[in-house]
Amino acid sequence: MSELSRLELYRRGEVRFILNYIMRNNENLRPIFKDGQYTFPDLDKLLKGISTKSILEELADHGLLERYPVDIILTCPECRFNDLTDRYLCPFCEGFELERGTMIEHYDCSEVAFQKYYVKNEKLICPKCHNDLKVNGSDYRKIESIFHCIKCKKDFSVPKITHKCLRCSHSYSYDTTKLKTIFGYIFKEDFRDEVIANCKSEVPIINLLKENGYLVESPGTIKGKSGIDHIFDIIAHRQNNEKNIFAITVASSYEKVEPEVIVSHFSKAFDANPSRSIIVAIPTLNEDGKRLAKLYGIDVVNGNTLKEVRKIFKEKILSINKISF
Ligand SMILES: [Zn+2]
Ligand SMILES: [Zn+2]
Ligand SMILES: [Zn+2]
């Protein structure tokens, strides 16, 4: 796929979100088998309702991820669902009422029947000719694990195995079963720079700060009053003013950013005591988050797209600079 089609892809919020997640040390996405399904539980939780699998497939189609096989599962030819149960049927009449056990063949009279019909008073007696059986291998033989069909009375050693779909009840055999490969996905390193430039939420803010004469560290550390080093997504200060420090946390969510981000930022900022505490929330904070930010005196920048974030952040910097000059 072309660069143009990838750039088109990066415009979508859920794509940027997932690529940001991958960039945070989740380069290898391997599905987990649970409750009869392969899923990506961490991503499913974050993406709430959007099909993780279809986005990963799209990213793989665009060459950003490489697929690798994890398993092959059997699926129903009717509905493609993979929850199935196996059934053993008679290969002659397809009856399902089968018995399985050890059979005995009595050589003298050619009787073949389950062992249970031979047992009488702890001895083996032929149910047909009523003679005692003597030595296994000489006057009779045992045949282990034989199926008997109650309907057509035939015996056989290998049943017909079919699958029954637990969703649509369709019965099917191995020759019509669909085989489905389950894939894991690995991020292709070749695209790291391109993805960071287009999807990493910190990038437009870092660039903007640099363009406006700030020295930037990302991630950056501030030593708190307690002596503990606190790490923020971005630390910035003016070249000629090392005391005027910004501590910035960048948080993105597929829906709204949860208040935990504010609490975590505040607990660090309380000790680190930067001049400005800023949270960039993409697309926006939820209501509790907004209330907390106001309570803690944290500046908030919201934006649906990185372009919008850049624009609003720029206005914020300009207004801050006006105050400090
Ligand atoms: Zn089905
Ligand atoms: Zn006999
Ligand atoms: Zn049968």
pLDDT mean for each 10 residues of the chain (325 residues):
84 84 90 91 81 93 97 95 92 95 95 93 94 95 95 94 94 93 95 86 88 89 92 88 87 82 93 94 90 93 86 87 58
Domain 201-324 CATH (choose: 3.40.190.10, 3.40.1350.10, 3.40.50.300, 3.40.50.970)? 3.40.1350.10
CA of 107 to the centre of ligand 2 (A): 7
Give me the helix-helix angle, 306-324 and 202-211, nearest 10°: 40
CA–CA gap between residue 148 and residue 157 (Å, rounded): 9
Please name which of 260, 249, 314 lies closest in space to residue 282, comparing C-alpha atoms: 249
Q: Locate tokens 């950056």: which residue?
A: 220
Determine contact, residues 37/82, Cβ cutoff 8 Å. Answer: yes
Q: Which ligand has the nearest atom to the CA of 131?
A: 2
Cα of 14 from ligand 1 centre, angstroms = 31
Distance 124 CA to ligand 2 centre (A): 11
> 43: which 2 tokens?
């991503």
Kindly give, in sequence order, each residue whose CB lies less than 8 Å from that of residue 62, ignoring residues fewer than 6 positions away. 1, 5, 6, 9
User: Which listed ligand is nearest to 112 at the C-alpha?
Assistant: 2
**Using CA atoms, how far apart are residues 273 and 165, in angstroms rounded to an integer?**
61
pLDDT at position 325 is: 41
Biggest CA-to-CA distance, the chain: 115
d(CA 114, CA 102): 6
Closest ligand to the CA of 166: 1
Q: Which ligand is nearest to the Cα of residue 99, counting in written order?
A: 3
Could you give the CA distance from residue 175 to residue 162 in angstroms, rounded to a whole number?
10
Q: What is the pLDDT of residue 324?
A: 52
Residue 287 has what pLDDT?
92
249 three-state secondary structure: strand
pLDDT of residue 27: 93
State both tokens at 90.
Answer: 């008679």
149 C-alpha vs ligand 3 centroid, how far in Å? 5
CATH 3.40.1350.10 domain locations along the chain: 201-324
> What CATH topology corresponds to 3-78+177-195?
Arc Repressor Mutant, subunit A (1.10.10)
Q: What are the CA-CA distances from residue 282 to residues 214, 232, 294, 320, 321 (Å)?
A: 23, 17, 17, 21, 24
Q: Which residues does residue 172 pair with via DSSP β-bridges, in sequence order? A: 163
At 102 the pLDDT is 95
pLDDT value at position 242? 75
**pTM of the predicted model over 0.75:** no
Q: Are 291 and 242 in contact (CB under 8 A)?
A: no
The pairing of strands 276-282 and 241-252 is parallel
- Could you give the residue range(s) of every CATH 1.10.10 domain in the chain? 3-78+177-195
